[in-house]
Amino acid sequence: MKVLKKIYLIIIFVFLYAPVLTLIVFSFNDSKSRGHWGGFTMKWYGQLFKDRQVMSSLYYTIIIALLSAIVATVTGTAAAVGIHSMKKVLKSFVMNLTYLPVVSPDIVTGISLMILFVFIRLDLGFTTLLLAHITFNIPYVVLSVLPKLKQLNKHMYEAALDLGAKPLYAFFRVILPEIMPGVVTGFLLAFTLSLDDFIISFFTTGSGVSTLSITIYSMARLGISPKINALSTLMFIVVLVLLLIVNKRSATNGRNEAPLINI
């Protein structure tokens, strides 16, 4: 039975990561053909950084993802704290509203935001794209932080106030360190979703501002360049390294956590 479980686990991982490994291998392929190996080369990585269109798209993608993740994390964390302190009926109502953007199709969200921006006479471009990404990222941050708030001892905050701490100081020194894993998870999730988004970005951006997903989509009609394989490989490695660093820091903080609250 244990052998079957291990085989099943291996099959799942192969199914998940075989496409990624294939992409990484073919980023070193000397041939443009994705079905023929022409030898090992690094030329696509060199050409990647010389492609102004791809570099411009990468710049906008990272800036939008980073800014939207930061704003969504701050806003979503504050919203999660507020939702957690609500009464049961109101909390249930607000949580249903929070789930709506998550379960709604991206095309509905994209078209709705585009109509809203046009209605308020806001020119489509960098600002509308950033606002759109913040909007669809906030619910994911809220849903990441709330479980940590539920696990939190509700008397810790009151104890900090009784010991003389001001509400804001007590939040940053007592509550925030306890829910930080959820906050970091929400940030990483928001950042990744923003990097990956295509449909909402397609409807809410304007001329001169293009993300990687939109640029790659426009290239698909003529065939995807191996430079995109090289770019995807670099992005995968960067995200993997970030995840390893976050997991390492979380494990270290967990071992070094003090049993007493330092006010």
| Residue-wise pLDDT tens digits, 143-194 | 999 988 888 877 777 788 777 888 888 888 888 888 888 898 899 889 988 9
Query: Considering the domain boundaries, does residue 208 fall inside one?
Result: yes
How many domains are contained in the chain?
Answer: 1
- Chain centroid to Cα 1, Å, comes to 37
- Chain centroid to Cα 27, Å, comes to 24
Cβ–Cβ < 8 Å for 200, 109: yes
Query: Considering the domain boundaries, does residue 129 fall inside one?
Result: yes
Find, among 240, 241, 231, 236, the residue nearest to 59 by Cα.
231
For residue 12, the model assigns a pLDDT of 92
Amino acid at 189: L
Query: Considering the domain boundaries, does residue 187 fall inside one?
Result: yes
Whole-model pTM: value is 0.82
Query: Considering the domain boundaries, does residue 3 fall inside one?
Result: no
Strand ranges (E), the chain? none
Only one residue has tokens 């308020």, namely: 120
Amino acid at 34: R
Query: Considering the domain boundaries, does residue 5 fall inside one?
Result: no
Give the CATH number, domain containing residue 159.
Answer: 1.10.3720.10
**pLDDT cut 70: percent of the chain above it:** 93
Distance CA 156, CA 176 (A): 12
Find, among 210, 217, 202, 196, the residue nearest to 114 by Cα.
202
| Domain range enclosing 87 | 51-252
Q: Is 29 helix (H, G, I), strand (E, B) or coil?
A: strand
Query: Considering the domain boundaries, does residue 21 fall inside one?
Result: no
Q: Which two tokens stand for residue 256?
A: 């070094």
| Residue-wise pLDDT tens digits, 52-80 | 888 999 999 999 999 999 999 999 999 99
